[in-house]
Amino acid sequence: MAILKVHYRDATIEIDAQTQVRKFYEKFGLIAEGQPYTDLGAEVIKRHAPAKKLVLA
């Protein structure tokens, strides 16, 4: 996460995150967007955050 904040400060980070570990992603400041869907048997949801606003835990 630190590398993203320093080297990609102006980028928006976008990931597909498993919903079962929602709190893990939230602690870094990644915000859920849209509805959950199934990918390879796991429920996931798109998450995003500006790199400069990521929280280093």
Instruction: Output the pTM of the full model.
Output: 0.83
57: helix, strand or coil: coil
Q: What is the pLDDT along the chain (57 residues), one digit of tens a residue?
A: 788 888 888 999 999 999 999 999 999 999 999 999 999 999 999 999 999 888 886
